[in-house]
Structure 1
Amino acid sequence: MRINADFAKRVAVHFDDTPWIASPAPGVERKMLDRIGKEVARATTIVRFAPGSAFKAHTHDGGEEYLVLDGVFQDELGDFPVGSYVRNPPTSRHTPAAMDGAIILVKLHQFQPEDRHQVQINTNIGADPVLPLFHDAHEEVRVETWAPGARVGKEPEGGMEVFVVDGGFTENGEEFARWDWLRLPPGQGFSGRAGPDGARVWIKTGHLAQML
């Protein structure tokens, strides 16, 4: 399976325009943003867990990172409410579930093999406009808050992903609202303007150069 697999192209996926697709686990559905592979895949996905749903225990050979968008996500490490950002390194194993339901943004099989960083951050704590989540020689992850109407320009090396947590922005004449996703290839800058309610966005940079 290949979905938005050309990393040399700009890609935008709008939450409201994208269907939910059933997963192999009962009660778990997905909106696929990009994907290379079948069930074990390099993938960026929005996953919805119905109350009481779960996946069987499994190992993430290529690592996993996720941001909880709604509800409470759970595994052996604990309960992760809205705003939780978690990185589980390659070879980590867990049994994901959601007793009361949850929606997460998750990226699979995208870590460097030597990465062994375990990260758990509550992104709802603090009021700084830039909240660093992770940084190494290959990538940087953060949450940014943009004021209403703010013009935002960025020239990231190695490509960029922007996911709208709240609010919205306009980029290249296209409007992005809550839970919409934009991926820009290496060499392409970002020039946007926050909407009238501002924007809170999850940003990842530097990681796409290896895909070209």
Structure 2
Amino acid sequence: MRINADFTKRAAVHFEDTPWVPSPAPGVERKMLDRIGEEVARATTIVRFAPGSAFDPHVHDGGEEFLVLDGVFQDEHGDFPAGSYVRNPPTTSHTPAAAEGAVILVKLHQFDPADRTEVKTRTDDGAAQQQLFQDSVETVTLQTWAPGQAVSLDAHGGLEVFVVEGSYSESGEEFSRWDWLRLPSGTRFDAVTGPDGARVWMKSGHLAQMTAK
């Protein structure tokens, strides 16, 4: 399976225009943003857990990173309510579930194989910019932009922007709640927020070594 698999090109996925696709686990559905591979894949996905649904226990050979968007995501390590940000590096394992339902943004098989850094934190609603993770390759932040704000960023190492709340316009395209944009290395992000501003999850620098697949 190949979805938005050319990392030299701009890619955009709008939540409302993208269908839910069943996963192998009953009650768990997905909206695929980018993907290379079948069930074991390099993937960026919005995953929805129906109340009481769960995945079988599994090991993340390539690591897992997720942001809880709605509800409470759970595993044997604890409960993670909306706003939780978690990085499970390669070799970690868990049994994902959601007793009352949850929606998460998740990235799989995108870690350095030697990375062993675990992160479990909560995002801060009041922060203009909150750094969630940083290493020599990438930076992950949660940013809050004011209504009508012009935002200009250098995407020299690539950039992903996921709208948690609000909206913005980029290249004449409107991005609102749970929409996703990926820009390749060597480009710029120039946007203007909507009347309610925008709160976005952003990852930068991680696409510097990516080429067409």
Same fold (TM over 0.5): yes
Question: Cα deviation per residue 1:76-96 (whole Å; 9 max; x = unaligned)?
Answer: 110000000000000100000
Distance, in Å, in 2 between the alignment partners of 1:143 and 1:194 is 15
Map 1:50-69 onto structure 2 (within 5 A): 50-69=50-69
1:39 counterpart letter in structure 2: E
1:135 equivalent to 2:106? Answer no
For residues 2-46 of structure 1, what are the alpha-carbon distances to aligned partners after superposition, in whole Å with 9 as ceiling and x for unaligned?
Answer: 100000000110000000000000000000000000100000000
Aligned mates of 2:104, 2:25 — CA distance in 1:
15
Structure 1 residue 126 displacement after superposition: 5.6
Specify the SS of the correspondent of 1:16: helix
Q: The residue matched to 1:192 in structure 2 has which SS?
A: strand
Give the letter aligned to residue 137 of structure 1: S
Structure 1: gaps of 5 or more residues: none
Matching residue's letter, 2:90: P
Partner Cα separation in structure 1 for residue 116 and residue 31 of structure 2: 28
Write out the 4+ residue segments of structure 1 that deviate beyond 6 Å after TM superposition: none
Counterparts of 2:106 and 2:92, CA distance in 1: 15
Distance 1:30 1:188 in 2: 29
For 1:1-212, list aligned pairs within 5 A.
1-123=1-123, 125=124, 127-212=126-211
CA distance in 2, matches of 1:61, 1:39: 13
Shift of 1:157: 2.5
Structure 2: give runs of 5+ residues left out of the alignment.
none
8 Å CA contact 2:155, 2:184 repeated in 1: no
In 2: Cα distance, 1:209 partner to 1:91 partner: 25
Matched residues in 2 for 1:117 and 1:17: separation?
Answer: 35
- What SS does the corresponding residue of 1:116 show, helix, strand or coil? coil
Secondary structure of the residue aligned to 1:204 is: strand
Q: Distance in 2 between matches of 1:210 and 1:96?
A: 31
Report the TM-score, using the length of structure 2 for normalisation: 0.98
2:62, 2:108 within 8 Å by CA — same for their partners in 1? yes
The answer to whether the 8 Å contact 2:15/2:178 transfers is yes
CA contact (8 A) 2:155 2:183 kept: no
